[in-house]
Amino acid sequence: MVQVGILAIIASIVVLRFLYYWRQVFFLKGLNKTYGSFFHAYSKLDREKRVYILQEDNPTARAITKLRRRKSRFIALVKEAGFYSDNNVMYHQNLDAQTYRVDRKIAELLDETNPRYITYVLRLFENVVGYFEDRAFESFSIFYWTDFIRNLPKLILNFSIDIIRHAITGH
């Protein structure tokens, strides 16, 4: 009876890990679809209409609002996947009739309306979705769990050291 309970707990952990990562994949694919539909509709407009279309109540304005509301979660997922720090792009910003060149993270360009950056963001979507899909299916790999159990003492020790360091330094 005890063996059945232990197996149920292990199976639950595997399934919960899979569902956590698959939930991120589902969120990112939905956001990617919104992003694609926004730029498809937005790119068909001429320059004069682009300014006004975002101020009205229409599907394009709702899409950009949805992107802006989910931007912080998108950035958090990009950071979790490890793609945030090494993805910079030269961003051109017009201020006071002058153009400034600024380094920006690609993840922060999610709600940017300049079509110049769409390829960067779409590539970032592909990378992050691939990362979370890999982690989801890795949940069913015996090699992952063997490596996890082998490294568990090291993980616990590092976690303990971090807690002690935080308690001492306050950082």
Please report, as a single letter, which amino acid is at residue 32.
N
130 and 161: one domain? no
* pLDDT at 40 (0 to 100): 74
* pLDDT at 55 (0 to 100): 64
145 and 117: one domain? no
121 and 145: one domain? no
Closest CA to 42 of 108, 106, 118: 118
Closest CA to 113 of 98, 136, 93: 93
* pLDDT at 96 (0 to 100): 65
101 and 165: one domain? no
What are the average pLDDT values for consecutive 10-residue runs of the chain, which has 171 residues?
84 93 94 83 66 66 81 90 77 64 76 77 90 94 92 90 87 67
Closest CA to 74 of 24, 21, 135, 22: 24
| Total count of domains within the chain | 2
Angle subtended at Cα 136 by Cα 89 and Cα 16, rounded to the nearest 5 degrees: 125
* pLDDT at 138 (0 to 100): 94
153 and 133: one domain? no
40 and 22: one domain? yes
* pLDDT at 20 (0 to 100): 94
Range of the domain at 11: 2-140
23 and 105: one domain? yes
